[in-house]
Structure 1
């Protein structure tokens, strides 16, 4: 049996275990997708043609592109138009950027399983790099005055930083953590690295064992950044406080 066929079988086995509130089973499905491939149903055109267009379906106001998980499922679906075989990471990367999800085996009894675009983003970026959803996001209650004092002091000196926000993130799987949102004038890699470095320097001031992460608020696909932009008030805001010598000059070295 080929490696591709083995991975395809893993997707179908994982699909069979998915059930409401079985976040562990759903996570296994995402890992199987990251290693496997799917058969995308084309509504128009043929694979690689300029007019190729995936099928589409809408559930709960969200768009999904339908796919099946094997040649056997393709035959069972009765789909008579063209299809495209593509790896899980490739289709995840293509769909999430337009906020489209992936719906697997919509023809089966029960209607199949939908993978929202936020989870496709995790597949595209690396499942171990981003927290497992659905996420519970709230205002944090962290007793760490020295941590926040150092962040505020150093943020005033790191010129790309406009503001800092925060959220308490509780993933569906894994430990909760404190996320620091970086609102930046400049999102070039050196500016982002300078902002992240100031947070890392302050981490020793936080209670031992408390995980801390950073997120760039300009990331339009990150659910934590989206929540912070909508609900979190800055605990450092350069433009709301008198920092007369701390304006942002793009071509100056960052400290």
Structure 2
């Protein structure tokens, strides 16, 4: 699979991710810069490529021997490594000693492995402002959001995955993440989807997710199309869901 991954071959890259996500068969030999396998002071090696951090590993005992690595290592499932690395924005680099330099898996794809490949779009993602005109949907969604006290703002983006159909993403910024609030926001979306044209996929993303690339893009590049506080409906302290009440000077 590594040999099949070349620039533009997203299908081969996706197959590699699925292999890594499979317990037992997705094992990798993690290179330890400090400590021994299983010891509290064990520390993965690190490398930087194009400004992104990666932990190097090899894919078999034979590759370990070919690499010339003379320090400790530990054999772990790719799924376990993905869960350990992505929260610190670290990727995984497979066989850096190989001809061509091996293959790097950036942290957003490790996050996909950790959370389930089919639950998140395949990268790299192309993100932009939506060009499709659906004012009825946006108006209905904003109206329903105004009736849902948990919602602070709504944003939107057009997402084109490397594999699969493009879709409209709605960014949800909420005051409260309690189960009743989540249920209310879910109901808000379901009540609004009737105004979406047939065949247009719509997904949601939580703006507070520090590791979601769509949420990151929305925070940096978009303005809300609904903003409760801009409409003068600042929640009172009794309904502020744990956030400080807003003060206007």
Instruction: Say yes or no: TM over 0.5.
Output: yes
Q: Which runs of 5+ in 2 are unaligned?
A: 243-249
Residue 250 of structure 1 corresponds to 241
- Aligned 8 A contact 1:160 1:186 in 2: yes
Q: CA deviation at 1:196?
A: 2.9
Alignment counterpart, residue 199 of structure 1, candidates 179, 189, 192? 189
Measured against aligned partners, the alpha-carbon deviations of 1:77-96 in whole angstroms (never above 9, x if no partner) come to: 11111111111111001000
Q: CA deviation at 1:185?
A: 1.2
Residue 23 of structure 1 corresponds to 10
After the TM superposition, which segments of 4 or more aligned residues of structure 1 sit over 6 Å from their partners?
244-247
Structure-1 separation of matches of 2:209 and 2:105: 20
Higher mean C-alpha deviation, range 123-132 or range 198-207 = 198-207
Residue 84 of structure 1 corresponds to 74
Residue 133 of structure 2 corresponds to 143
Residue 51 of structure 1 corresponds to 41
Q: CA deviation at 1:191?
A: 2.4
Q: CA deviation at 1:245?
A: 7.7
Matches within 5 A, 1:36-185: 36-185=26-175
Higher mean C-alpha deviation, range 42-51 or range 215-224 = 42-51
Structure-2 separation of matches of 1:20 and 1:237: 41
Higher mean C-alpha deviation, range 185-194 or range 59-68 = 185-194
Residue 19 of structure 2 corresponds to 32
CA RMSD, Structure 1 to Structure 2 (Å): 1.6
Structure-2 separation of matches of 1:187 and 1:223: 20
Measured against aligned partners, the alpha-carbon deviations of 1:139-161 in whole angstroms (never above 9, x if no partner) come to: 00232222112111110111110
Structure-2 separation of matches of 1:229 and 1:125: 22
Partner SS state of residue 151, structure 1: helix
- Aligned 8 A contact 2:31 2:44 in 1: yes
Measured against aligned partners, the alpha-carbon deviations of 1:41-76 in whole angstroms (never above 9, x if no partner) come to: 001111111110001111111110000001111111
Q: Which runs of 5+ in 1 are unaligned?
A: 1-13
Q: CA deviation at 1:244?
A: 6.8
Q: How many residues align?
A: 238
Structure-2 separation of matches of 1:167 and 1:38: 36
Partner SS state of residue 167, structure 1: strand
User: Cα gap change, 1:180/1:246 in structure 2, threshold over 3 Å: closer, same or farther?
Assistant: farther
- Aligned 8 A contact 2:155 2:224 in 1: yes
Residue 7 of structure 1 corresponds to none
Structure-2 separation of matches of 1:188 and 1:82: 44
Partner SS state of residue 101, structure 2: coil
User: Cα gap change, 1:142/1:200 in structure 2, threshold over 3 Å: closer, same or farther?
Assistant: farther
Partner SS state of residue 208, structure 1: coil
Partner SS state of residue 128, structure 1: helix
